[in-house]
A and B are shown apart, each in its own frame.
Chain A
């Protein structure tokens, strides 16, 4: 199936731990994103990569580090997890970049990773 797949779907961990979320897309899209959705359902962009190059880096603590080994993968590593990091994290991809009309084809989202920090 063509899709954006991210793992794990659920992640429960203690404060202070380090965790990673993986994302892969087989749609041939050029750009991948990480979004954070809080308890009020606000979708906030964290990072965007275009062909392995970082193009959007919003105000995110440097405990969050994205890594894109190739244009089909964008992983998110989080160090020293805090209670406030609890949220649903969505990976997404699009044909163009988030700053151009090529994003017109719409974003395809992964199914999300629900991170709970206890």
Chain B
């Protein structure tokens, strides 16, 4: 069945360092969405990408959808303590699946 894996599972960074999480699907996706879940909170929708090779930016966050529409990445420049949380990708293949998540810890 369709699987959406994310790496790394955990990432600790010093405040000010960059962070990247990678999302890989076993099947081609029609779209990719990214969510952020703060500790103790619920997933919150960040953005959606639909086109092959699409890149979108939100302030310090850069989202990319792969050319083959089977992978995506989220890059955060100069992390801040407010970036702490788990980042999930989610994509529509034969069904809509959430990725396994990357938990980000930012050390002040």
User: Which of A's residues lie within 8 Å of B, judged by CB?
Assistant: 35, 41-45, 56, 90, 98-101, 103-112
CB < 8 Å: which of B50, B86, B95, B97 contacts A41?
B86
Q: Are B48 and A41 in contact (CB-based, < 8 A)? A: no
Instruction: Given contacts A45-B95, A112-B42, list 9 more A-B pairs with CB under 8 A.
Output: A43-B43, A43-B98, A98-B96, A99-B95, A99-B96, A100-B92, A104-B33, A106-B33, A108-B45
Contacting residues, chain A, for B42 (C-beta < 8 A):
90, 109-112
Q: Mark B18-61, 1 if CB is under 8 A from A, else 0.
A: 00000000000011010101000111110010100000000000
Contacting residues, chain A, for B86 (C-beta < 8 A):
41
User: Which of B's residues lie within 8 Å of A, judged by CB?
Assistant: 30-31, 33, 35, 37, 41-45, 48, 50, 86, 88, 90, 92, 95-98, 100-101, 103
B60 to chain A, nearest CB (A): 20
Contacting residues, chain B, for A45 (C-beta < 8 A):
95-98
Main secondary structure of the interface of B (DSSP, over half): strand
7 A-B residue contacts at CB 8 Å?
A42-B98, A43-B43, A99-B92, A101-B31, A101-B92, A108-B45, A111-B42
What are the nearest 7 A-B pairs in CB distance?
A106-B45, A43-B98, A109-B42, A98-B96, A41-B101, A109-B43, A112-B42
Please, which residue of chain A has its CB at the minimum distance from the CB of B88? A43
Please, which residue of chain B has its CB at the minimum distance from the CB of A107? B45
Contacting residues, chain A, for B100 (C-beta < 8 A):
42
